[in-house]
Amino acid sequence: MSAPEKPRPIPGARLLFSLDPSMSYLNHGSFGALPISVQRAQQRLRDEVEANPLRFYGTGLLDRVVHTRRHLATFLGADPDGSALVQNTTAAVSLVLQSVGLGASDEVLLSDHAYGAVTMAVRHRCRRTGATARTVAVPLGLSAPEVVARVRSALRPGRTRLLVIDQLASATAALFPVREIAAAAREHGIPVLVDAAHVPGMLPVDVSAIGADFWVGNLHKWGWAPRGTALLHVAPAWRRRIEPLVVSWEHEQGFPRSVEFQGTIDYTPWLAAPTGIFTMRTLGLEAVQEHNETLAAYAQRVVGEALGLEPADLPEPGGPGVAMRVVPLPAGLATTVPEAQALRLHIAEKLAAEVAVNAWGGRGLLRLSAQVYNRPEEYEALAERLPGLLAAYQR
């Protein structure tokens, strides 16, 4: 079967970024990449800080943070008064775990798609509280109703204290029906934390409509915000119960200010974040998302065919809009995290291409991202050279 149609480049989009032209950066999903306009906006804020630190931190900073939070929350369909800016999804997960009040008879349920650092945070908190961390397997290729049924069957009312579920999984690029999963958990009074690290900017989202108790997404990946920018949304029933990881001067004000204000942290990523959304909108938000989804599908098919895979062997994301796709690697390659990291570095060194390689379910998965600065020719070049590199790597 031939590859999907190549998307037309968005005029001028490639020039918005300052990426090294000697590398094919096919891994936007890991750390994002900042448009030059956002870099400059943040630098202006840094200059403002250093011109008079006391004035920056002491005059109107909280109002500026609140204004920024309202802008970003509105973009995501979240309640601004029930949201807080945080450094990243991982920090928000630890914040939620501290706030739900785990006990020795409780358990936290995750799927086997959960991000590694999230799983580590859950296990760490469970060790400290005597609770149990449990994992439900969700095979790739299930339909949305099948995913919901599998997660529902794993819930244990009276025992499951928190369900942590991805909206878009990092390792597998699988899209989960989080609204339906949250509804299923709500039937049993089980709180749900949605890890939406990759969602803001990539997928249209209405956070309030999902109905999760907690939802967190990074804006520094697909939202073109500086690194260290994420939004945590908390349902009304939980807002007074949020326990900040750091107690500072706004603690008595309660959520969200008790979470957002932490003294002399760097607030410039948050304050510059709206520039990323503005830049994306100048290109056309729907145009950006359509381009990236189409290019990711093309990349998956081209690289998959080069590795001898049939279309049926290439996992579909489980829904529209996803700008990351995975290609299963030959058996025996990258089956552990250290092996996956080593192979990623080898590909970067030998092929001048940055990709993500993950070990999941005993199989290595090559993850390809697509962003407006990417071109089909970059994936074609990877497809041409990758089979030979992998054959030599296995010897």
**CATH topology for the 38-277 domain:** Aspartate Aminotransferase; domain 2 (3.40.640)
- Indicate if the pLDDT at residue 299 is higher than 80: yes
Task: Convert the pLDDT of each residue in 220-251 to its tens digit.
Answer: 999 999 999 999 999 999 999 999 999 998 89
Q: Measured between alpha carbons, how far is 124 from 138 in angstroms, rounded to an integer? A: 23
- Indicate if the pLDDT at residue 101 is higher than 80: yes
Task: Convert the pLDDT of each residue in 331-368 to its tens digit.
Answer: 999 999 999 999 999 999 999 999 999 999 999 999 99
Helix (H) or strand (E) holding 364: strand 363-369
Give me the sign of the Cα torsion angle 109, 115, 120, 122. Answer: negative
The pLDDT > 90 percentage for the chain reads: 95
Q: Locate tokens 């959304």: which residue?
A: 277
Non-local (6+) Cβ contacts of 73 within 8 A are 79, 80, 83, 207, 231, 233
Average of per-residue pLDDT across 162-179 = 98
Domains 14-33+285-394 and 38-277 share a fold: no
| Homologous superfamily of the 14-33+285-394 domain (CATH) | Aspartate Aminotransferase, domain 1 (3.90.1150.10)
Average of per-residue pLDDT across 133-145 = 96
Do 131 and 108 meet the contact criterion of CB atoms below 8 Å apart?
Answer: yes
If phi > 0 it is left, if psi is from -120 to 50 it is alpha, else beta; for residue 194 that is beta
The pLDDT > 70 percentage for the chain reads: 99
Q: Measured between alpha carbons, how far is 324 from 113 in angstroms, rounded to an integer? A: 15
pLDDT at residue 3 in the model? 54
Least confident window among 4-8, 203-207, 356-360: 4-8
Q: Which amino acid type is present at position 41?
A: A
- Indicate if the pLDDT at residue 2 is higher than 60: no
Q: Measured between alpha carbons, how far is 137 from 232 in angstroms, rounded to an integer? A: 26
- Indicate if the pLDDT at residue 305 is higher than 80: yes
pLDDT at residue 209 in the model? 98
- The two tokens of residue 314 are 């290439």
Helix (H) or strand (E) holding 24: strand 24-25
Q: Domain-by-domain residue ranges, the chain? A: 14-33+285-394, 38-277
- Indicate if the pLDDT at residue 309 is higher than 70: yes
Average of per-residue pLDDT across 202-226 = 98
- Indicate if the pLDDT at residue 1 is higher than 60: no
- Indicate if the pLDDT at residue 152 is higher than 80: yes
Q: pLDDT tier at 4 (50, 70, 90 boundaries)?
A: confident
Task: Convert the pLDDT of each residue in 39-66 to its tens digit.
Answer: 999 999 999 999 999 999 988 999 999 9
pLDDT at residue 5 in the model? 84
Q: Measured between alpha carbons, how far is 77 from 72 in angstroms, rounded to an integer? A: 9
Do 261 and 248 meet the contact criterion of CB atoms below 8 Å apart?
Answer: yes
**C-beta atoms surrounding 34 within 10 Å:** 25
pLDDT at residue 390 in the model? 97
Mean pLDDT of the chain: 96
Give which of 88, 143, 133, 91 is closest to 112, Cα–Cα: 133
Average of per-residue pLDDT across 296-325 = 96
pLDDT at residue 394 in the model? 82
